[in-house]
Amino acid sequence: MASFNFYLKDSSTKNESPIYLLFDDGVNRAKFYFQQSIRPKDWNSESREARKSLTGYSDFNAKLKKISDKCENLHTSLTKDGTFTLDTLREKFKTFVEELNNRKKSNLSGEVKNFETLTDFATHYLKTVEATKSKNTLRHNRQTLRLLHEFETLKKKRLTFDSITLDFYHDFVEFLTRSKGYAQNSIGKHIGNVKLFLNEATERGINSKFDYKSKRFKKISEKVETIYLTEEELLKIYRYDFSKETRLEKVRDLFIVGCFTGLRFSDFSQLRIENITGDTIKVKTRKTGEIVVIPVHWTVREILTKYAHLAKGLPPAISNQKMNEYLKEIGKKVGFTENILLNKTKGGLRVETSVPKYELIVSHTCRRSFSTNLYLSGFPSISIMQITGHRTEKAFMNYIKVSKEENARLLQLHWAKNVKLRAVV
């Protein structure tokens, strides 16, 4: 299986080093350069991406991912057509990079222009990153830009960079809260996008007003109630007879694969038989670029056998939105109808609602169930983090769904184990 990894040309320099993409299919090996550099201190050699210390690291890494994905797609296409050679791949990749860089240059040709307002700059900036950002990220960024335009209309004044003060922050948060009725986390995401626009403008020497860097100009967040499914509940779903509803059966099987691999939807929905060797699954995750190795659970093994007649070896993927819709239908049929109490702040008011459990089942429930079930079984959190990719134990503990009662039970089991050991001594 071909690999596509990024490396620095000179990892010892204190200045910027060119980055190259190393292609290796076990027979052919080649380096592809694409006019991108970075300082080694801002480069993570393990994950092969920019560190968070680099301003604009997410966009930088998004561009790297777009480049590696393109090279991988070119290789797949050429191999399928029977026209693959290193020279052909190199030529196709060179054409892609030239188009990407020319598009960037043409988009940035007005960079020296003095943008008078934040909205003017944000409009320009989003055009320059169309080639490197995901559609989903661009959609959220553009929604924030539309809200900034609405805010300008409401206040009857344009948002010059000098006007982006703490007063603007409080007024904009109030607008999102009162006028739009947004929940806390939605407001936080839009504030994060405003800060992104301002960081980009600052880097380009367009903005010199730094109120947005204040601790009080913060992203609002609120812990959202989510669920996990126990292993017993997962097996109840797995054993339910959906043979007469094949659309639900396929989604159920893919969901179970996610629940016993801990992978994100973007990864488990794209799993192929090539990712599985013996009793392990090896995947380069799309979000972080890290390689994870996971043992094959017995349910996953049975599903692989079931779909062995397909080229992919697994159920065909559908959209995340459609999968979430089917999962709710699956949960209802299986009988997860108990009510769950939800609390959140919306439109500035604390709202309490009650919804049936099946309404809360989504594709991300897979990953949360995997992590929580392993933790509750006594499996070391640091080992689970090797698969989930959480970088700190604090982040991991905030992620899993463990009640105080379950934590107490774990401690009780730990003490009971120690008492037995003590008796032996």
What's the CATH number where 131 sits? 1.10.150.130
- At 232, is the pLDDT very low, low, confident or very high (cuts 50, 70, 90)? very high
Please provide residue 159's backbone torsions phi and psi, each rounded to the nearest 5 degrees. -90, 80
The answer for residues whose C-beta is within 8 angstroms of residue 312's C-beta and 6 or more apart is: 271, 272, 273
- DSSP conformation letters of 240-296: S--TT-HHHHHHHHHHHHHHTT---HHHHTT--GGGEETTEEEEE-TTT--EEEEE-
Are both 160 and 185 inside the same structural domain? yes
Residue 222: strand, helix, or coil: coil
Does a structural domain hold residue 222? Answer: no
- Least confident window among 190-194, 300-304, 410-414: 410-414
Are both 39 and 151 inside the same structural domain? no
Q: Find how far residue 281's CA is from the centre of its chain.
A: 20
Does a structural domain hold residue 221? Answer: no
Are both 76 and 124 inside the same structural domain? no
Q: Domain range spanning residue 78?
A: 3-110
Are both 208 and 242 inside the same structural domain? no
pLDDT at 414: 64
pLDDT at 309: 92
User: Who has greater pLDDT, 257 or 129?
Assistant: 257
Are both 177 and 206 inside the same structural domain? yes
Per-residue model confidence as pLDDT tens digits over 345-365: 776 677 778 899 999 999 999
Nearest residue to 210 via CA among 199, 197, 194, 196: 199
Does a structural domain hold residue 424? Answer: no
pLDDT at 106: 44
Are both 80 and 168 inside the same structural domain? no
Are both 148 and 203 inside the same structural domain? yes
pTM: 0.58
Per-residue model confidence as pLDDT tens digits over 86-139: 888 988 888 888 776 655 444 444 444 568 899 999 999 999 888 777 777 889
Does a structural domain hold residue 46? Answer: yes
Are both 408 and 287 inside the same structural domain? yes
Contact assessment for residue 141 and residue 193, using Cβ atoms and an 8 Å cutoff:
yes
Does a structural domain hold residue 261? Answer: yes
As a three-state string, the secondary structure of 313-354 is CCCCCCCHHHHHHHHHHHHHHHCCCCEEEEEEEECCEEEEEE
Rounded Cα gap, residues 252 and 238, in angstroms: 7
Residue 298: strand, helix, or coil: helix
- Residue appearing with tokens 């809360």: 360
- Least confident window among 87-91, 244-248, 388-392, 408-412: 408-412
How many CB atoms lie under 10 A from the CB of residue 63?
A: 19
CATH number, residue 363: 1.10.443.10
User: Among 71, 87, 110, where does a domain finish?
Assistant: 110
- Total domain count for the chain? 3
Q: What is the mean pLDDT of residues 400-410?
A: 71
Does a structural domain hold residue 224? Answer: no
Does a structural domain hold residue 258? Answer: yes
Are both 301 and 168 inside the same structural domain? no
Are both 177 and 282 inside the same structural domain? no
Rounded Cα gap, residues 133 and 60, in angstroms: 9
- Least confident window among 223-232, 255-264, 270-279: 223-232
Is the confidence at residue 331, as pLDDT, over 90? yes
pLDDT at 417: 65
pLDDT at 111: 44
Rounded Cα gap, residues 326 and 328, in angstroms: 5
Nearest residue to 161 via CA among 125, 112, 205: 205
The overall average pLDDT reported for the chain is 86
pLDDT at 152: 95
Does a structural domain hold residue 425? Answer: no
User: Among 163, 180, 213, where does a domain finish?
Assistant: 213
Contact assessment for residue 389 and residue 285, using Cβ atoms and an 8 Å cutoff:
yes
CB environment 172-186: b (16+ within 10 A), e (fewer): bbebbbeeeebbbeb
